[in-house]
Amino acid sequence: MRIGFIGLGAMGQHMAHNLIATGFDVTVWNRSSDKLAPLVEAGATRAVQAADAAACDVLITMLADDDALTTVVDAHDLIEAMPENGVHVNMATCSIECARRMAARHENAGRHYVAAPVLGRPDIAKAAKLNIVAAGDHDAIERARPALEAMGQKVWPAGEAAYKANAIKLATNFMLVSAVEAMGEATSLTSAYGIERADFLEIITNSVFGAPAYLGYSGAMANREYDNPEGFKLALGAKDMDLALAASKAENVPLPVGSTVRDRLSEALAAGDGDLDLAALAEGSRRAAHLDDND
């Protein structure tokens, strides 16, 4: 199977490496060409044009957001460059409306669009342990399944409508960001009573909250070390919360917790924390509680 891969950021680099390591014939393209060298050294083919990556059995994109996806697709005529009945698997977190538009455009052109957003951070992607939520034409998903299984530990089917996978992803990230904010607030509460951050976080992550969402961020929160290149950037959490709130508004589903957490994300962005790990949300709670560095 020939696979085209576009979008070699923190997640995409690891995902493409795993495809190469599994033995797939991978053609790579990225807007920033410096990201290509390590993959070419690992055995990938460097695409001269983005359309070269699209002219494969399966095109995988892992771009930052709706705008990045639309810009690359339109600027390089990727849908037209795909083979007849080709499969485009978009593995990024996108809006519901973007998924609907892309699915319709591909169908009108005689191509297949599969939404397959991933659950996991870059370190999980590197270990090929991602959970992948896939929605779209059943046969198209099955054609792409060998590649998906090379990048993740499980593929979760989500139906024929591509946007359903994105709805699941947005709901998941809404819960994740809310959980990290709650953990930060709880840590500030216990800190105000003289309890060491690390002690409290060790207790909760080894008892009632021993789940990946808490375990993955408690270490950074305990040590107040948020500069993690393998982490989930706070700015991306804000983007995903915006998408979740937009999806909720479209269907009149109240998300009062989401609105409150979005305010805290806005405060963190204003404080310059956007490029830090999502665990830096805890600093907003500390600032609001007027805790000093000894608390």
> For residue 284, what is the domain's CATH number?
1.10.1040.10
Q: Which of 142, 161, 180 is the last residue of a domain?
A: 161
Per-residue pLDDT of the chain (295 residues; tens, 9 = 90+): 999 999 999 999 999 999 999 999 999 999 998 999 999 999 999 999 999 999 999 999 999 999 999 999 999 999 999 999 999 999 999 999 999 999 999 999 999 999 999 999 999 999 999 999 999 999 999 999 999 999 999 999 999 999 999 999 999 999 999 999 999 999 999 999 999 999 999 999 999 999 999 999 999 999 999 999 899 999 999 999 999 999 999 999 999 999 999 999 999 999 999 999 999 999 999 999 999 887 7
* Rounded-to-integer distance, Cα 254 and Cα 248, Å: 6
Domain CATH number, residue 68: 3.40.50.720
- Helix H, strand E, coil C: the string for 191-230 is HCCCCCHHHHHHHHHCCCCCCHHHHHHHHHHHHCCCCCCC
Angstrom distance (rounded) from CA 131 to CA 37: 27
Do both 155 and 23 map to the same domain?
A: yes
Task: List the catalytic residue out of 126, 164, 169, 239.
Answer: 169
**Cα–Cα distances in angstroms (integers) from residue 140 to residues 3, 27, 121, 294, in the given order:** 14, 20, 26, 55
Question: Is 0.85 topped by the overall pTM?
Answer: yes
**Where a domain ends, among 161, 180, 215?**
161
Based on the residue annotation, tell me whether 169 is a catalytic residue of this protein.
yes
Beta bridge partners of 157: 134
Helix axis angle for 197-205 and 163-191, nearest 10°, is 130
CA pair distance 64, 71, nearest whole angstrom: 11
φ and ψ at residue 113, rounded to 5 degrees: -120, 125
